[in-house]
């Protein structure tokens, strides 16, 4: 008799609890999506086809302006960032929002890395001048290394910026979010 009760308790413990929430599977999927916190473009508010095409053209223009800014000594660089901030809200909850965010992050990270590279290069070159003036080869060598590191950071920022623009523009041409 005792063995039957133990057997019954064991089988009850081994059964998984497969209760579906009161609201059905939709609630379970909602809870799961809230836990992983990833953007869900399938259930996002829909914008009209004309609005989407307009924002796609707009993004093509901003990507083009980023590329053209290299041929204008960076003078056009500020224009696409202002354009991105101006229209960013219109693309909320769409796949195009990723392009606006991508371009904005690309701009700011490029500015930060480029600025750090310039500062290091200037400090290095200043130290190089000081080392040559003081006739100290150790200071000159260290300053040359620092200037070279600053130059490498500037080059990295330049290549990284072009890579991000090309990757984003390709994704936009394929009409998919950039990742």
57 domain-assigned: yes
For 40-67, what is the mean pLDDT?
A: 83
- The reply to whether 104 falls in a domain is yes
CA distance 125 to 49: 54
pLDDT surpasses 90 at 65: yes
- Cα–Cα distance for residue pair 114/119, rounded to 1 Å: 9
Residue 11 within any structural domain of the chain = no
pLDDT at 179: 86
Taken as a whole, the chain contains a residue count of: 179
Per-residue pLDDT reduced to its tens digit, 46-56: 788 899 999 99
55's CB contacts (< 8 A; 6+ apart) are 47, 87, 90, 91, 94, 96
Any domain includes 103: yes
CA atoms within 13 A on the CB side of 8: 5
Classify burial at 102, counting beta carbons within 10 Å of its beta carbon; exposed 0-12, middle 13-18, buried 19 or more. Answer: buried
In a domain, 9, yes or no: no
Domain limits at 55?
48-173
Closest by CA to 172, choosing from 109, 108, 102, 106, is 102
**Does residue 126 lie in a domain region?**
yes
Tell me the whole-structure pTM to 2 decimals: 0.67
Residue 70 CA: distances (Å) to CA of 39, 125, 158: 33, 25, 10
How many domains are there within the chain?
A: 1
In a domain, 34, yes or no: no
Domain membership flag for residue 153:
yes
DSSP state of 38: -
Q: What is the pLDDT of residues 125-146, one digit of tens each?
A: 876 665 555 566 666 677 788 8
109-124 b/e with 16+ CB inside 10 Å = b? ebeebbeebeebbeeb
């Amino acid at each position: 008799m005792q063995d039957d009760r133990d057997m019954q308790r064991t089988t009850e413990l081994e059964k998984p609890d497969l209760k579906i929430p009161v609201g059905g599977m939709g609630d379970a999927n909602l809870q799961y999506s809230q836990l992983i916190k990833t953007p869900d473009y399938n259930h996002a508010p829909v914008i009209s086809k004309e609005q989407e095409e307009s924002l796609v053209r707009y993004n093509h223009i901003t990507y083009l302006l980023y590329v053209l800014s290299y041929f204008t000594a960076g003078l056009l660089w500020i224009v696409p960032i202002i354009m991105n901030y101006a229209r960013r809200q219109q693309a909320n909850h769409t796949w195009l929002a990723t392009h606006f965010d991508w371009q904005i992050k690309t701009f700011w990270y490029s500015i930060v890395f480029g600025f750090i590279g310039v500062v290091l290069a200037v400090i290095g070159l200043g130290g190089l001048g000081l080392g040559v003036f003081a006739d100290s080869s150790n200071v000159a060598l260290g300053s040359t290394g620092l200037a070279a590191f600053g130059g490498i950071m500037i080059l990295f920022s330049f290549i990284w910026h072009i890579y991000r623009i090309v990757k984003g523009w390709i994704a936009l041409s394929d009409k998919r979010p950039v990742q």
